Amino acid sequence: MFARIDVDFHPFVRMCTTSHRYSFSMSTAPEPETHDVSVLLLTGGTSRRMGTDKASLRFGAGTLLDFVLGRVPAGIHTVVVGPNSGHPVQFVREDPPGSGPVAAVTAGLACVSTSHVAVAAVDVPLAIPWLLTVGLKSNSSALIPRDADGRAHPLNALYDVKALRDGLQAMGSPTNQSMQSLIAHLKNIEYVQASETSIGEQLLLDVNTPADLERAATLLQP
């Protein structure tokens, strides 16, 4: 059964394509603080340094996408923005494909009906599990981690869905816009140092090169 989701909050949003629940079972998946949260996973970005599509990289017994989706607990609605890999989750593409992370978030958000959404890129494999164990303060629009250099990572963060939609509407066209430009339209953002979280700097472990992939495989032992 396919689900149609009508969206009127932003003129640049495309319709969702499928509505299926992912059924991976992994003992390492954390229990989310609430099921009023969805996962929005971005997989469609270019990868010049890696030289190939990151989502399909061999990682453990499967692919990097397998690993990341396998860490989402059962019952959490998951939307993947990127090429349809055949996994039984909800897929959608930004319009046009390759038009940047904000366009991808805009497309994926059309499929979300929860109050909060954990947004992450597939090449940051530990972000989603941590984001699903934290919550937002009642007046916060987002919880965004910072790395050791103090740089914010809005592409791996927890958002209030209404605030995120308002921010998208305020910025206009999402095509080729940066996430930094988007969060400039949000108020009351919480920031947290990755080093102060329960998993430390590994929260923002980023797989950009073959060496990064090897390091991640050693650390995570999938």
pLDDT of residue 81: 94
User: Confidence band (pLDDT; 50, 70, 90) for 50?
Assistant: low
**Domain boundaries, position 170:** 37-220
Residue 194 lies in a domain: yes
Residue 8 lies in a domain: no
pLDDT of residue 221: 66
User: Confidence band (pLDDT; 50, 70, 90) for 54?
Assistant: confident
In the chain, how many domains are there? 1
Residue 20 lies in a domain: no
Say yes or no to pLDDT of 200 above 90: no
Residue 5 lies in a domain: no
Say yes or no to pLDDT of 7 above 50: no
Q: For the CA atoms of 65, 70, 72, 75, what is the dihedral angle to 10 degrees?
A: 120
Q: Output the domain CATH number for residue 150.
A: 3.90.550.10
Measured between its terminal Cα atoms, the distance across the chain in Å is 33
Residue 18 lies in a domain: no
Residue 41 lies in a domain: yes
Residue 167 lies in a domain: yes
Say yes or no to pLDDT of 146 above 90: yes
- Kindly report, residue by residue over 78-135, the tens digit of the pLDDT: 999 998 888 889 999 998 888 999 999 999 999 999 999 999 999 998 899 899 999 8
CA angle (132 as vertex; 129, 135 as ends), nearest 5: 145
- Kindly report, residue by residue over 155-198, the tens digit of the pLDDT: 999 999 999 999 999 999 999 999 999 999 999 999 999 999 88
Question: Which pTM was predicted?
Answer: 0.82
Residue 142 lies in a domain: yes
Question: What are the b/e assignments for 75-111, b being 16+ CB within 10 Å?
Answer: ebbbbbbbeebebebbbbbbeeeebbbbbbbbbbbbb
